[in-house]
Amino acid sequence: MFQMVCVVRNRLREIVGASTNWSDHQQAMAERVSLSSMLAKSQNDLPPKRMKDSYLEVHLPLGSELQLREKYLTFHNTVRFGRILEDLDSLAVLISYSHTFNAALKRSPLSIVTALVDKIDMRHHVIYPDCDVKFTGHVTWVGKTSIEAKMHMSQYRDGAYAPVLDATFVMVARDPENKRAAFVNPLRPEGPEEDKLFQEGEANKLRRVELSTASLLKVAPADEERKIVHSLFLNTLDTKTVSFRSRVLPPNSVWMEDAKLKGLEICHPQERNIFNRIFGGFLMRKAYELGWANACSYGGCRPSLVAVDDILFQKPVEIGSLLLLSSQVCYSEGKYIQVRVHSEVFDPLTRQHKTTNVFHFTFMSDRDVPNIIPKTYGESMLYLDGKRHFNQTVGH
């Protein structure tokens, strides 16, 4: 199925019955509650689907449409990667709706939202602003209420499409009010190639469970990691005072506390998704841009993105929220900079903070960057977590 990127969001509005007008949109969302009766009582009630049922091909004509190009352009005449993240997010939702499509229903009772960006691997570090882009993707794995969608982006250069990136998103289906989990159609792979993709999806799920179990927020670091933290500590001791409190920054290093950058967004209705929450792609774009700016400042040059890894959507962000974004360089090695961006909503009336997302980005500089040095135990855990993400991404 071939379509333009601008058509994707309009198509999503049709599927859900959302309106482009804010006041009508609120009314449409209230009416969606009545669709609950259309939800399947179990997964067995839903017909199995094939991978090709959800296959989509979407074009972004940057080469021919100058007005569109303007929206994607950076000052340095490259493509704003944050915009690509927004497009991938919308495409993953539409792919998931294509998988769950029921011709008998006028509107889908499902609320499909992004749960996790498992991985985005860059195959090419430059995206040209004056060449057409093509996105392709389909569902590769399905649980009872979750869907894995794999997408590929390529760009037309020298008479052919060349790969730019591969992305894996995990989506979850919920009831019309977006409150409880809802069943999705099972997936029936056809042939050895599709079997392999499905098995990879199964392996991805197990890996995520293992990573969550081994999280440094739950269990102590491994023996090897403890040695790393201790050697970092020993390297910063002041040999003159031989005191636990007196710390000295080694040459060509930066204290972790000095490698932060913060931002604030007021979440306006314009940035809403089809379910009246803040669009996940918008959150990713803002987090990416803040993380990029921090890596740029840390490395002293314009870094290129190597990978996006393990973006977890923990809580939806409501319209009207104050969104606080905090980026931290948490690991560095050679030319690589690992940045973690934490986002939380702040309610100024109750003064409560709630974490909504954690983002992990791996950037590469054009020169060796300083070593990042943690001072506290908490920072040391951030350092180890950053190292884990870096090793997973760069494949050490």
CATH number at residue 344: 3.10.129.10
pLDDT computed for residue 23 by the predictor: 67
The 10 Å Cβ neighbour count of residue 261 is 20
Alpha-helix runs per DSSP H in 255-358: 280-299
List 60's β-bridge partners, or say none: 133
Tell me, yes or no, whether 220 lies in a domain: no
Q: Of 194, 197, 331, whose CA–CA distance to 256 is shortest?
A: 331
For the chain, list residues with pLDDT below 70.
1-3, 18-26, 28-29, 242-244, 395-396
Residue tagged 């289906």 (tokens): 173
Per-residue confidence (pLDDT) for residue 3, from 0 to 100: 62
Whether the CB-CB separation of 198 and 185 falls below 8 Å is answered with no
Q: What is the mean pLDDT of the chain?
A: 89
Provide φ and ψ at 76, rounded to 5°: -90, 15
Return the sign of the alpha-carbon dihedral for residues 219, 224, 227, 233.
negative
CA dihedral angle for residue 157, residue 160, residue 163, residue 164, rounded to 10 degrees: 20
Strands (DSSP E) along the chain, which ranges? Answer: 2-4, 56-60, 111-122, 133-142, 146-157, 160-174, 253-255, 260-266, 304-313, 322-333, 336-347, 352-364, 371-373
DSSP secondary structure letter of residue 257: G
Residue 53: burial class (beta carbons within 10 Å; 0-12, 13-18, 19+): middle
> Distance between CA atoms of 200 and 310, rounded to whole angstroms?
16
Residues 173 and 241 placed together within one structural domain of the fold: no
Same domain? 209 vs 245: no
Count structural domains, the chain. 2
User: Any bridge partners for residue 305, and if so which?
Assistant: 363
Claim to verify: residue 203 and residue 265 sit in the same structural domain:
no
- Which residue, chain included where needed, has tokens 């599709």? 194
Q: For residue 98, tell me if it sits in a domain.
A: yes
Task: Please state, in angstroms and rounded to a whole number, the distance separating the CA atoms of residues 62 and 70.
Answer: 9
pLDDT (tens digit, 9 = 90+) per residue, 178-230?
A: 778 999 999 999 999 999 999 999 998 988 888 777 777 788 888 999 999 99
Structure tokens at 47: 């017909």
Residues 81 and 173 in one domain: yes
Q: Which pair of structure tokens corresponds to residue 200? A: 């990879």
Single residue among 164, 180, 213 that ends a domain in this structure = 213
Identify whether residues 244 and 207 lie together within a single domain. Answer: no
Residue matched to tokens 């998704």: 273
Say how many C-beta atoms besides its own lie within 10 A of residue 78's C-beta. 16
Q: Which amino acid is at 45?
A: D
- What pLDDT score was predicted for residue 19? 64
Distance CA 215, CA 382 (A): 11
CA 180, distance to chain mean position in Å, is 22
- Amino acid in the structure at residue 34: S
Q: Which of 187, 143, 183, 136 is nearest to 161 (CA)?
A: 136
Q: What is the distance between the alpha carbons of residues 11 and 44, in angstroms, rounded to a whole number?
A: 28
140 and 269 belong to one structural domain: no
The CA distance from 184 to 227, in Å, is 46
**Residues 17 and 107: beta-carbon distance below 8 Å:** yes
Neighbours of 387 (CB within 10 A): 18
369 domain-assigned: yes
Say if 230 falls within a structural domain.
Answer: no
Amino acid, single-letter form, for residue 17: G
Confirm if 122 and 174 have CB atoms less than 8 A apart. Answer: no
3-state secondary structure of 84: helix
Q: Which helix (H) or strand (E) holds 91?
A: helix 81-99
Find how far residue 235's CA is from the centre of its chain: 35
Whole-model pTM?
0.88
Same domain, 208 and 243: no
**Residue 226 falls within a domain, yes or no?**
no
Predicted pLDDT at 25: 64
- Is residue 38 located within the same domain as residue 171? yes
Residue 221 lies in a domain: no
The residues, any chain, with a CB within 8 Å of residue 100's CB and separated by 6 or more, are: 46, 49, 108, 110, 112, 147, 173, 184, 185
Name residue 120's amino acid. Answer: I
Are 64 and 184 found together in one domain?
yes
DSSP letters, 202-218, are HHHHHHHHHHHHT-TTT
Supply the range of the domain harboring residue 348: 236-395
